[in-house]
Amino acid sequence: MEISIIAGIIAFIVILVWLSKKLNEHSMIHYGYTPIGLGTIVLGMIPFILIIAGLFLEDKDPNNMLMALVFAGLSVIGLFW
């Protein structure tokens, strides 16, 4: 069962990479820029990292999850702004 899960995760990552390369190629041809880059990926992962950290640290202080959600929300608002 664990091998199936690992294979599924690897397949999902491969599909994501392939789709992002195709999107970048299409955007470069038609619009002259690539929307998906390392900076975009890192900035987009900040809210998820904060929420995961809040889940892990929730046992030590219940306010950790609340603060993680607040900062993740502010991060998402900042990304869209």
Query: How far is Cα 66 from Cα 1, in angstroms, rounded to an integer?
Result: 34
Residue 33 banded pLDDT, cuts 50, 70, 90: confident
Alpha helices (H) along the chain: 2-30, 38-57, 63-80
Residue 50 banded pLDDT, cuts 50, 70, 90: confident
The greatest distance separating any two alpha carbons of the chain, rounded to the nearest whole angstrom, comes to 51
**Nearby residues of 57 by Cβ (< 8 Å), 6 or more positions away:** 64, 65, 68
**Residue 2 confidence (pLDDT):** 80
**Residue 31 confidence (pLDDT):** 93
Question: What's this model's pTM, rounded to 2 decimal places?
Answer: 0.58
**Residue 27 confidence (pLDDT):** 92
Instruction: State both tokens at 13.
Output: 């990552």
Residue 28 banded pLDDT, cuts 50, 70, 90: very high
